[in-house]
Amino acid sequence: MLAKFLLSKNYNVIGTCRRDSKINSKNLELLGIYNKVKLELLDITDYKSVFELIKNTKPNEIYCLAAQSSVSLSFLKPKETIDSIIIGSLNLLEAVKLSNLKAKIYFAGSSECFGPSLDFLLSEETPLNPKSPYGIAKSSAHWLVKNYRENYGIFSCTGFLFNHESPLRPKNFVTQKIIQSCIQISSGSKDFLELGNLNISRDWGWAPEYVQAMWMMLQLDCPEDFVVATGESHSLKKFVDLSFQYFGLNWKNHVKINNEFFRKTEILESKADIKKAKTILNWKPQKKIDDIIVGMIENRFD
Ligand code: GDR
């Protein structure tokens, strides 16, 4: 989504891809931009290859999204999560520092850094309180981003993005799992969908709008961190209900609860205050939960 957005602004886009990864190029093909993005192989945890890529390509803007991105997988693979997120962002910051490049760096932070909302809204001022190896890694990397900004004057900033969905969402994330199951159930090829805790609430937004906020952050004169969300939080039960309703189905007849999908340290509620992004970036999300469900269904690639 970000590559597509940057191409629409006439950027030359260089994407990176792990040696064993097929997913990145598949998504570029689905978006019809495979031939427009120059792909380079990169192991973000290997400093030498990060430094050489930076030195050889001299980018003006760097969007650091390359890392293990599943919260649930981070409990099973904490080392891979920590390495890819913390070491990966450190390698990038060091490479920019040592190559004296005046690049602007966007770092993909997460609502997972803040932990639960409790009785307050989550904003840039909220103390970090991560509850998963993923959240811990994102929080540490954010502190590196802030430290390199303050210590070395590097333009580096964090976007604390809340859940952002699109038809490209892999099926191991709950929204795509629900949509794909609804399609299978409505066509008669499946009867049940198994989910974890339906009482959690999330702020679900539309990824194509969020990449715009990321870009806007790098157009500022001075680097600042931003919360990027819709400002509305809904229960997973509501997401399930609306998705099944789209297909004329009653979710209660098709959803089973499976303890396997519960997280031990779960964030029950995640509510954002997006005043800063609205005021400073002049960014305003348009799509809300109903539009996101329709958008994922009607724009799906199959
Ligand atoms: P999340 O997304 O962990 O919030 O991270 P995910 O869709 O995996 O989970 C959202 C919530 O749904 C609950 N849940 C289930 N989740 C999955 N995957 N499968 C299930 O069957 C299921 N049942 C209930 C989860 O417990 C959770 O509360 C996403 C990622 O994009 C991160 O990279 C990003 O940083 C955050 O959003 C903001």
Q: Are 291 and 285 in contact (CB under 8 A)?
A: no
173 ligand 1 Cβ < 6 A: yes
List the Cα angle 288/156/66 in 5-degree steps. 65
Active site residues: 110, 112, 134
**Closest atom of ligand 1 to CA, residue 169:** 31
Tell me how far CA of residue 69 lies from CA of 78, 137, 256, in angstroms: 12, 11, 26
- Distance between CA atoms of residues 121 and 201, nearest Å: 13
For the entire predicted model, the pTM comes to 0.96
**Closest atom of ligand 1 to CA, residue 200:** 28
261 ligand 1 Cβ < 6 A: yes
All structural domains of the chain, each given as residue ranges with its CATH number in brackets, are 2-167+203-233+270-288 (3.40.50.720)
Q: What is the DSSP string of 14-48?
A: EEEE-TT--HHHHHHHHTT-GGGEEEEE--TT-HH
Q: Which of 169, 143, 138 is nearest to 156 (CA)?
A: 143
195 ligand 1 Cβ < 6 A: yes
Residue 75: exposure state from Cβ atoms within 10 A (0-12, 13-18, ≥19):
middle
Instruction: Give SS3 for 256.
Output: strand
258 ligand 1 Cβ < 6 A: no
- Distance between CA atoms of residues 98 and 64, nearest Å: 17
**Closest atom of ligand 1 to CA, residue 161:** 38
141 Cα to the center of ligand 1, angstroms? 20
Could you list the pLDDT tens digit for every one of the 302 residues in the chain? 999 999 999 999 999 988 765 556 889 999 999 999 999 999 999 999 999 999 999 999 999 999 999 999 999 999 999 999 999 999 999 999 999 999 999 999 999 999 998 889 999 999 999 999 999 999 999 999 999 999 999 999 999 999 999 999 999 999 999 999 999 999 999 999 999 999 999 999 999 999 999 999 999 999 999 999 999 999 999 999 999 999 999 999 999 999 999 998 999 999 999 999 999 999 999 999 999 999 999 999 87
144 Cα to the center of ligand 1, angstroms? 25
